[in-house]
Structure 1
Amino acid sequence: MVNTFFKRSMPSEKPCFRFQATFENRLKSMDYNQTVLSHLQNFWKHHDIKGFTWALGRIVEELPDFQVFQVIPNHEDEPWVYVSSGIGQFLEQEFFIISPFETPEHIETLAMLASASMHYPDRFQLGKTVNIGRPWVEQSSFQHFLISLPYPYGQELEYMDNVRFFWLLPITQPERLFLNTHSVEDLETRFDELGIDYLDINRASVI
C-alpha cells in the first residue's frame, strides 16, 4: 500500500496513537533527543550536526520536542543527511534522508512522516512505500520513498539499542508499481545489477 502522509485526514481509519505532552514526557523526549544526537556524533565523528524543530502541523502537539538532525558534509562530494528524532521512543524506529544538497524540505518531510507514522504505524514499516504528494526535492520527478535498510552506512548507524534507523530511498513511479507484483528484494537486486546513483534527483529508473 502506498501512503500519502500529507493528506490532512484519513477518515476510513482510526488513529492508534495518542501522546500526552506532560512535563515528565517532555523530559524523556529531551533525553531521547540527546541519545540520538550522541549516536549520530559517534557515527559521524568529524562532522558538524545541527538540530532543527518544526513548528507547523499536528507534530507540534503530538511531539513538541521532535527534532530533525542535519549532518553537514565536510566535502563537496559528500551528501547532506537529515535524521528524525522523536518517534523512536514509541515506535522503535527513526527515518533519515540522504540529499545531494541542503534544503529545509527534508525537515518538513520528516516531521510530516513522523506524525503520520505514529497514527498509522503499520503503513510505515520496513519495505513499505510512501507517496509524499510532491517531488522529494525541487526539480525531481520522484514522489515516492521506499523505507529501506540503511545500506550506505550499515548496521553501525542502523542500531541504537532497540531503535533502528531506516533510509527513505527515493524511487520512481515504475519502481513503485513493480513492487505491486514483486518483492523488495527483487527491486534491490535490480538496483545492485544496474547500479543507481541515489543522489541523482532524476536518475534513470531500473524498471
Structure 2
Amino acid sequence: MRKTHPIIASYIPVVEGLARTFGEHCEVVLHDLTGDFSSTIIAIHNGHISGRQVGSPITNLALQSLRSAKDSDEDFDLNYRNDTIKGKQIKSSSIFIKDEQGAIIGSLCINLDITHLAKAQAMLGSMMAVEDKRGAQKTEENFAPTVGILMEQIIEDCLKRTGKPIALLQKEEKIQFIHLLDEMGLFLIKGAVQHVADLLDVSKFTIYNYLEKKSPQS
C-alpha cells in the first residue's frame, strides 16, 4: 500500500467539507496521482452520482486534462459539461494539486449533478415565456392608481402617436386622435366622452360624429 503524500492527505477533510456544504447532488473526489492510475481515488463523498468509491481509477477525461495541464502549467479545469454519466447532466471542475516543485501529484474533482436544476430551468423558462401579438404598435401596460390617471395616461399615449399637442390638431388629426382613443378602449370608461370633448373644446355630439367617420389612417 503506497503512502499518501502529505500535501494530498491535507485535502481529505476538504473533500468531506465541500460535499457536506453543497449536499447530496455534489460528488467530491480526491485523486492521488503519484502512483498507479488504475486506482487513484483515496477519498470520495456522494459517490452515488458516478457510482465510484475509494480505489476506483481516474477517468479518461481526467487523464486528458492531466496530460494537457502538464504541458501548459494549468492549475485547474473549471465548469465543463460532463455527459459521461448516463441520464445525468453533470457540471465538473478539477483542481490540480502540486508538490513543492510544482509537479502535479493529485487532483480535487467536483461533479455537480444539475439534472434537476436543468429541468427546473426549462420549466421556469416555459412559465416565463411571453408572446408579442401586438407587433410594432405594442402599448405598454400602465398600472394607474385611479381611473382619472388611467384616462390621462391613455390620452397622453395617443397624443404621442399623433405627434402634436391638442391645440395644434387639425380636423382630420382630431378624427384620427378620437379613433386612437376608441381603439385603446378609453370610451368604455364612464365620463370619458365628455372629458375628451372638453379637451378638444367640442361637443359630445361631435365626438360621436368623429367616431362614425372613417379614420384617416385606416
* TM-score (normalised: structure 1): 0.29
- Specify which structure has the higher proportion of helix: 2
**Which has the larger Rg?**
2
* TM-score (normalised: structure 2): 0.28
